[in-house]
Chain A
Amino acid sequence: MDPYDASDLTPRQSASSRLKDYFIGATPLQKRLESVRKQATFVSTPPRKKIPQCSQLQEDVDPQKVAFLLHKQWTLYSLTPLYKFSYTNLKEYSRLLSAFITAEKQKGLAVEVGEDFNIKVIFSTLLGMKGTQKDSEAFLVQILSKSQPPSENTEGKVLWTGWFCCIFGDSLLETVSEDFTCLPLFLANGAESNTAIIGTWFQRTFDCYFSPLSINAFNLSWMAAMWTACKMDHYMATTEFLWSVPCSPQSLDISYAIHPEDAKALWDSVHKTPGEVTQEEVDLFMDCLYSHFHRHFKIHLSATRLVRVSTSVASAHTDGKIKILCHKYLIGVLAYLTELAIFQIE
């Protein structure tokens, strides 16, 4: 057995607080077989997962500090580890990045009167946005427009926001060396052109690679089940699903809205094992919705593609757009997204 597999055993056994296990089927025999197989061979295909329930995750994030992260639509990217990134040089990075952005925006443009290129870039760390102590600290990049005249001491409008984080990224941290900082999840809000420029700068400076993170229907159904399972005192939004029917000439969209308390009641009747969510429960939850729809409308939703899931906790679109609505489950949502990002990198 090569040394990688031997060391792989101990973190798994010691992560008892996370209740993370890998298995394919629902029967105990298949669960055991799959965990044995994962330890014995280096599995090239990712096994299906069982995710801890949201309530078990840390809730020590200060609501005020992260309030600006909620209720905004973020575009997701996965990011390979950054080479020689240092948290002490953040001011230096701000300076370099603002110079780069100004240069990029002025490149190839004729001099325009009245166009304001005075922008300021701020790098800052986000405290508390991590799953375990080993996770790298999350940091935030903001592009602000400098207000004119400079005598006003207001900050200026935020043009673009992007932040990098890593929640429970243990599987990636184990494989990289000391010089690399692992922040596999990147979320951006703002103009696409700014995202492209910032992406180019990071790629040149830290030798990393951005790729857009898309969420397939399988993962969206997992998110729907996990977020419906979250206990909420007050439901802000209805639970809504959107399916895209592949038909010509134009694709048809089917939208299905459920009262959130009904969805929770359905989930509770399906959910058997406390503290974990299994593949079978997710499938059963979705099958109940599909069969109910079929009974009324004679349409097989299982033959269509799930494109968007929207709950009171968060809403996700298959193109990689996410909006988080509840600060209590912020870490839980980000943990799952980090897992998807890591899977895409590997």
Chain B
Amino acid sequence: MKLRPERVTCPSAPPKGKASGRFENPARSARVTVRPAARMSVLRPLDKLPELNTATILLVSTEDALLQQLADSMLREDCASQLNVHLARSLPLPSSVTRPRIDLIVFVVNLHSKYSLQNVEESLCHVDASFFLGKVCFLATGAGQESHCSIHHNTVVTLARTYRSPLLFCDLKVENFRVTMAQRLVRMLQVCAGHTPGVSALSLVSLLQSPESPSLEDL
């Protein structure tokens, strides 16, 4: 398919929200975008009561096929609690559906597609700041095929560092890696839902933090 627009006119204003202040701290980016009117549109970790022995995970990504496969792998895992896996292309979630309290959000970025990164960045605005105390995780896929990468892996590393959340790398297309990652996510989900005695989401995320140089602590 060959499409040939003859002239490109310069846009008078740069695309909104794409370049300016991408990686500022979450409180600032929350101020930049317009807050949606309905309270339901912003995800808050503690606005609902938990259900008995239930843990809910929300996977957010534009890569539908990969998410479906990851969800299937997770549901096949042995787990003492009952697992709910919710899939979403982007946030905000439609408020017409009732859903249980979400214990862990995983944002999946495909390093081959800048669109998935932009989508995640826009979705992050709809997550309340208190979620980032261990209940958010980033997953980057496709890092193995360097020749196909459109995003430098440092971009996602910076993104995860800015939001103080763990970053996991996994090639979700390979079955074995996907199964291992599903196991890992199920264990993390159990901790975040409070089903593991002695470990909380916040203590887990402080264990998962990579050692940062002292100068970055000033950030």
Binding site for B on A (CB under 8 A): 24-25, 29-30, 33, 36-37, 40-41, 45, 47-48, 214-218, 221, 246, 252-259, 262-263, 265-266, 269-270, 280, 283-284, 286-293, 296-297, 300, 302-306, 318
A/B interface sample: 8 pairs, CB < 8 A: A37-B216, A216-B147, A287-B14, A287-B18, A288-B15, A293-B3, A297-B3, A303-B116
Do A305 and B153 form a contact, CB below 8 Å, given A284-B19, A288-B15, A291-B11? no
Contact B11 A33 (CB under 8 A): no
Interface check B7, CB cutoff 8 A: yes
Binding site for A on B (CB under 8 A): 1-11, 14-15, 18-19, 23, 62, 112-116, 118, 146-155, 157-158, 213, 215-216, 218-219
Contact B19 A37 (CB under 8 A): no
Which of A215, A255, A288 touches B11 (beta carbons < 8 Å)? Answer: A288
Contact A262 B150 (CB under 8 A): no
Complex formed: what's the CA distance from A311 to B48 in Å? 56
- Which residues from A are CB-within-8-Å of B9? 262, 292
- Which residues from B are CB-within-8-Å of A217? 112, 148-150
Contact B114 A302 (CB under 8 A): yes
Complex formed: what's the CA distance from A253 to B1 in Å? 6
| Those 8 A-B pairs whose CB atoms lie nearest each other, nearest first | A303-B115, A302-B114, A302-B115, A217-B150, A214-B147, A284-B19, A303-B113, A262-B8
- Which residues from B are CB-within-8-Å of A305? 112-113, 148, 150
- Which residue of chain B is the closest to A268 with respect to CB atoms? B10
Do A216 and B113 form a contact, CB below 8 Å, given A40-B213, A254-B1, A303-B62? no
Complex formed: what's the CA distance from A298 to B22 in Å? 24
- Which residues from A are CB-within-8-Å of B216? 33, 37
- Which residues from B are CB-within-8-Å of A280? 19
- Which residues from A are CB-within-8-Å of B154? 24, 45, 47-48
Contact B6 A259 (CB under 8 A): yes
Contact A287 B150 (CB under 8 A): no
